[in-house]
Amino acid sequence: MATTGVTGTTTTASTSTAASSSSGANSSKMLAGNFDKFLLLLTTQLKNQSPLDPLDTNQFTQQLVQFASVEQQIKSNDMLSSLLTATKASTATNALGFVGMQVTADGTTTKLENGSASWNFNAPRAGSGTVTVRDKSGSTVFSQPTTFTPGAQAFRWNGQTNAGGSAPAGDYTISVAGTDLQGKSMTVATEIIGTVDSVDLTGESAMLNIGAARVPVDKVKSMRKPAA
């Protein structure tokens, strides 16, 4: 059993927040400095303009509006960065709730434990086909013909191989080739069932580690406490 935990620390989030705050502060400081220079040049031009050829006030107004727009954009970016940081922190907290829970999610790889591995099938139509189970190296350890009913249905493998032995505990991947009653090929979706060992937060979205399988949180279909 893998040690439960969460990959990623608040130190990373704090560093990211500090970097964003520093970047925003620098941008604001640069904008303020440029605006002061602009006002200095503007007042100097006004003081020294020719009465016979006055400067165009519309250009001054347009430039002032542009500076104001840039200032508002920097403030908006700072607010979005803060919101993103808060969202990531909330996601990390929520993801902790998956650790130790049994989930059903889109996928093909699950664990064989205590002589049992389970998947769910979802067939669009009634039909038949072949279920194949492969080990980590990709070698076929079990296959059998089966029939499908429309909708979701459970499939359990007891770990017995086609050679007559018992497969060792570990991660196994399933594939399904199916045809409907008219002989036309059809895609049979598969779902994995397993206990979440840990959560990886280092990427853009939280990933649940279920043995060797990595499942995005948004692929989870259901979650419940494992049976005692």
- Average pLDDT over all residues of the chain: 77
pLDDT bin (cut points 50, 70, 90) of residue 34 is: low
SS3 at position 52: coil
Nearest to 179 by CA among 148, 155, 133, 134: 148
Structure tokens at 169: 């505990």
User: Which residue, among 123, 106, 112, 189, has the nearest Cα to 158 in the 3D structure?
Assistant: 112
Q: Could you tell me the pTM of the whole model?
A: 0.54
Residues 82 and 173 occupy one common structural domain: no
Indicate the SS3 state at residue 163: coil
DSSP state of 49: -
CATH number at residue 164: 2.60.40.4070
Are residues 71 and 118 both part of a single domain? no
Q: Does the residue 228 lie in any domain?
A: no
Reported confidence tier of residue 58, pLDDT bands at 50, 70, 90: confident
Mark whether 26 and 78 lie in a shared domain. Answer: yes
| pLDDT tens track for 73-131 | 777 777 777 776 666 666 666 777 788 888 888 889 888 988 989 899 999 999 999 99
Averaged pLDDT, 5-34? 48
pLDDT above 70: residue 1: no
